[in-house]
Amino acid sequence: SAVISQKPSRDICQRGTSLTIQCQVDSQVTMMFWYRQQPGQSLTLIATANQGSEATYESGFVIDKFPISRPNLTFSTLTVSNMSPEDSSIYLCSVEEDGPGQPQHFGDGTRLSIL
């Protein structure tokens, strides 16, 4: 299966700052997804990123807070802007390795703590 690498694996940030998380896949994929997983909870989809178009955000998530780039078929970034302690979470990217509507595969996530 595809190898999905996220950077950084973890970070501790000051409130009010921004952090960009990178997701690199070792094969070309159409869709990439960004999720948030708060401690002890399940995964919440933030947005879907398709190469060459604007990301599609889920209810409760906005582009100003979570801007996403998708410059090519193997890479995407998620920025968490103007961070507050409530943004402390694990951020995960995933891909549909076998095509649209197929089960997703995940990276190991970025563990973010905001002081």
Partner 1 sequence: QKEVEQDPGPLSVPEGAIVSLNCTYSNSAFQYFMWYRQYSRKGPELLMYTYSSGNKEDGRFTAQVDKSSKYISLFIRDSQPSDSATYLCAMISNTNAGKSTFGDGTTLTVKP
Which residues are at the interface with partner 1 (CB under 8 A)?
1, 4, 31, 41-43, 45, 48, 92, 96, 100-109, 111
Minimum distance from residue 46 beta carbon to partner 1 (Å): 12
DSSP string, 8-51: -SEEEE-TT--EEEEEEESS--SEEEEEEE-TT--EEEEEEEET
Q: How far is CA 48 from CA 62, 96, 115, in A?
A: 12, 11, 28
Minimum distance from residue 63 beta carbon to partner 1 (Å): 18
Minimum distance from residue 96 beta carbon to partner 1 (Å): 7
Nearer to partner 1, 39 or 85 (CB): 39
Nearer to partner 1, 56 or 82 (CB): 56
What is the enclosing helix (H) or strand (E) of 56?
Answer: strand 56-57
